[in-house]
Amino acid sequence: MSKVVAITGAARGIGLATARALKAKGAVVVIGDIDEAAVAEAAESLGVTGLVVDVTSRESFAAFLDRAEEAAGPLDMVVNNAGIMPIGPVTDESDADARRCVDINVHGVMLGTKLALDRMLPRGGGHVINMASLAGVTFTPGLALYNASKAAVVAFTEATRLEVQDRGVHVSAVLPTFTNTELVAGTRSPKGMKNCEPEDIAAAVVELIGRPRPQVVVPAKLARQVRLGALLPDRVRQAIARRYGLDRIFLDFDPDARKAYDARIRT
């Protein structure tokens, strides 16, 4: 895979796993993250270029992509992966948390997509991959801010894809289920279900690059369930949610286990 790829939010979790998987396939990878120490450590461990980027700042994001191209060449792909996940009752979420969630998860993806397209459309080629979530199409108590932000990513990505599809540039969304990263710290898995690992999402991204599609659900087996679930009456959907404990997962969590993550995403 002789591709040049820039990935945001790649100092840890899904972003780091994706960088590792793409590098293993022969891609030239540049990673970015707002955590300077973490991205430097991750870059050294992978043997790639690591840069600081604040995805909420046009100046910072543009500089990141400029420096990525200076280091690695014209970008074939941009993976907008950076995101945060505040959880808990909606009435307990602060206005500051709401603004930060939307700034990073929504505006960051929009900004990264626009800046990538500015580079790719004149060349008539490229691929923008936006990390959405199944939370963008299935909604859960205690996850209102995150649900809203990822629903926006799903809608924005699809509308943008339709707009540029005849100009040589692919735009795709990846929708993972519960994944074992810091985002789910202090929560439990749905009953009878196993969380994905970051490497599972990374593998889906690698496959998506090889065979571009509008949207990929991870794991793939959930795609059909989600489509069918949308056709069910509300009372049936809620009964299923209760059966799997989805109605309480993000309300009955361990706040102590989330302290470090919550502190980091609010910094």
Q: Is the peptide bond before 141 cis (omega within 30 degrees of 0)?
A: no
* Angstrom distances, CA of residue 166 to CA of 85, 124, 205, 207, 216: 34, 9, 22, 22, 20
Is the Cβ–Cβ distance between 112 and 7 less than 8 Å? no
Model confidence over 184-241: pLDDT tens digits? 999 999 998 899 999 999 999 999 999 999 999 999 999 988 888 888 899 999 999 9
Residues annotated as catalytic are: 146
Angstrom distance (rounded) from CA 132 to CA 155: 10
Is the Cβ–Cβ distance between 31 and 11 less than 8 Å? yes
Q: Given this model, what pLDDT does residue 9 score?
A: 98
Q: Given this model, what pLDDT does residue 105 score?
A: 98
Helices 144-164/108-123 angle, 10° precision: 10
Helix (H, G, I), strand (E, B) or coil at 207: helix
Lowest-pLDDT choice from 34-38, 48-52, 97-101, 229-233: 229-233
Q: Given this model, what pLDDT does residue 95 score?
A: 95
201-237 in b/e form (b: 16+ CB < 10 A) is bbbbbbebbeeeeebbbbeeebeeeeeeeeeeeeeeb
Helices 108-123/58-72 angle, 10° precision: 40
Give the pairing of strands 28-33 and 49-52.
parallel
Percent of the chain whose predicted confidence (pLDDT) is above 70: 100
Q: How confident is the model at residue 1 (pLDDT cuts 50, 70, 90)?
A: low
Averaged pLDDT of the chain: 96
* Angstrom distances, CA of residue 154 to CA of 4, 38, 57, 81, 112: 24, 28, 21, 13, 15
Is the Cβ–Cβ distance between 152 and 106 less than 8 Å? yes
Angstrom distance (rounded) from CA 59 to CA 75: 18
Model confidence over 89-130: pLDDT tens digits? 999 999 999 999 999 999 999 999 999 999 999 999 999 999
Is the Cβ–Cβ distance between 22 and 203 less than 8 Å? no
- Kindly list the domain boundaries of the chain, sorted by start residue: 4-265
Whether the CA torsion 198, 202, 107, 28 is positive or negative: it is positive
Taking alpha carbons only, the member of 105, 261, 264, 106 closest to residue 184 is: 261
Q: In what order do the strands lie in the sheet with 77-80?
A: 49-52, 28-33, 4-7, 77-80, 126-131, 169-176, 215-218
- DSSP states of 109-132: HHHHHHHHHHHHHHHT-EEEEEE-
Question: Looking at domain 4-265, which of 3.40.50.720, 3.40.50.11540, 3.40.50.261, 3.40.50.970 is its CATH number?
Answer: 3.40.50.720
In 124-182, where does DSSP find H-type helix?
Answer: 144-164
118-152 in b/e form (b: 16+ CB < 10 A) is ebbeeeeebbbbbbbbbbbbbbbbbbbbbbbbbbb
